[in-house]
Amino acid sequence: MTASTILSSVRNPLKAAIAGVAANVYDSVPEAPIVPFAAVVPNTPYLQPSLLGKDKVKLRVNFVLTVGVAIYDNQSALDNIEQLVISILAAIPSGYEVGDVSNPIIVAVGASEVLACEIQLSTYYTQTN
């Protein structure tokens, strides 16, 4: 029997759910992402212990989901990122708490520019021994 990890029980299910909305999903923002994309990145603070014990460790795990779309013109890019964010919010599995969504800004990623915003997410993970 394989032990549950944050990767297997938190990050991978989140990435699989987001992949269902046709975004390219990454573990970090790559130098040349293929748009539209979503990157699941640890947030600050990343792990917040809420229960420490001999047999159990319970953590609040915080992520920022960076979302990006191509910039063709301002109006369509804004509409595209809004639609992508709404689709992602609808696809997030139960058990995840959704925080604020930042304002979209133009970001230089590698040799190109994308319109990007961030979605704050958190969930709980319990490691038992």
Question: Half-sphere exposure (CA, 13 Å, Cβ side) for 109?
Answer: 24
Residuewise pLDDT in 10s, the chain (129 residues)? 467 899 999 999 999 999 988 779 998 888 888 999 999 999 999 999 987 777 788 999 999 999 999 998 778 999 999 999 999 999 999 999 999 999 999 999 878 899 999 999 999 999 876
Coil vs helix vs strand at 38: strand
- The model carries a pTM of 0.89
Sketch out the chain's domains with CATH numbers: 6-128 (3.30.2000.20)
Instruction: Specify the residue for token string 């990122």.
Output: 81
Element (H, E) at 74: helix 74-91
Q: CA 36, 40, 45 angle in degrees (round to 5)?
A: 140
